[in-house]
A = this chain, B = another copy of it.
């Protein structure tokens, strides 16, 4: 017979999932009710409204997709892009490459704008690419590159898209609630995120929002969206509210309880206060790392406070250090991804996990393991 699984209590300071508060875990385990229950429909309305505030948008098409952030990315791409379209994709880390995969699987063409992993997307290159490709229909970029800890200038990139008359798709998986993201003011057209980063909710749900221009693009499609599950015209019907609600799929009811609770915690704190808290503990961490002789991999201006890329010192074995942190301190930090494997650590201070206790725990553990 198989044994039940009792996980240890880890401190999650990798690139996600982040620490989930007992308040959110408590909400998660409340009794399941039906996804068509009038009370659940009320909860869905709350979640939509709270997500609007978090994305800083008025858009009615602001909902949680019932699948992980990767499916959120796919939802943005398959709804806004049709076969034969031209899409400019900015790549400065792992997730730009995934965007390219999404574009090509639609039968569209991806024009890549490459920047060094560890640098932000260069708006000048984007401007040139937009000029050189006047039939472009969408500009796609990652706001917070989870693989490198780099922020790009989403406001400027969205403005470039708008002045070229193309829609923007913005990956905000690691952004949401961690750093400022003004969807309406900046004019972003499709923005998706995940619940397991700065929302400090359990992984598995992808909040997403579409602008009115994006909705218009969806409604004017000449071909059906290739994914039935992610077709926003159907999902819109499901999330339309009580009277008009059309059955689409069975919502992950308990995960929605958890998302609801995590969004309430954010509402109580306030978005600006959440940004400040992330910045504050980031600065604490950076100062402490400097005391240990560890340097940051990203230029100060473009560092993500919620995900700190740290250079692994010469002669230090990456895997050994992370294994000891996990085994001796129940502390998870992130490895480098792709070409950064073995060269960098990624230390997350996301959502609920962005606090002084975690900063100190991480610094103490690193000092011990590195013998500094």
Using CB atoms and an 8 Å cutoff, list the residues of chain A in contact with chain B. Answer: 1-10, 12, 14, 16-17, 19-20, 25-40, 43, 46, 49-50, 66-71, 74, 98, 101-102, 104-106, 194, 196, 202-204, 224-229, 247-255, 257, 260-261, 263-264, 267-268, 326, 332, 337
Q: How many copies does the complex hold?
A: 2
| B-side contacts of A228, CB under 8 Å | 70, 74, 98, 101-102, 105
Known: A70-B248, A203-B35. A254 touches B10 (CB 8 A): no
Give the CA-CA distance A252 to B69 in the complex, in Å: 11
Give the CA-CA distance A87 to B111 in the complex, in Å: 35
- Whether A202 contacts B250 by the Cβ 8 Å rule is no
| B-side contacts of A19, CB under 8 Å | 32
Give the CA-CA distance A257 to B263 in the complex, in Å: 23
- Whether B267 contacts A1 by the Cβ 8 Å rule is yes
| B-side contacts of A249, CB under 8 Å | 68-71
- Whether B5 contacts A260 by the Cβ 8 Å rule is yes
User: Smallest CB-CB separation from A77: which chain B residue?
Assistant: B228
- Whether A254 contacts B202 by the Cβ 8 Å rule is yes
- Whether B255 contacts A252 by the Cβ 8 Å rule is yes
Give the CA-CA distance A14 to B226 in the complex, in Å: 31
- Whether B326 contacts A8 by the Cβ 8 Å rule is no
Give the CA-CA distance A188 to B134 in the complex, in Å: 50
Taking each of A14, A67, A268, which has the highest tally of chain B beta carbons within 10 Å of its own beta carbon?
A: A67
- Whether A204 contacts B202 by the Cβ 8 Å rule is no
- Whether B9 contacts A35 by the Cβ 8 Å rule is no
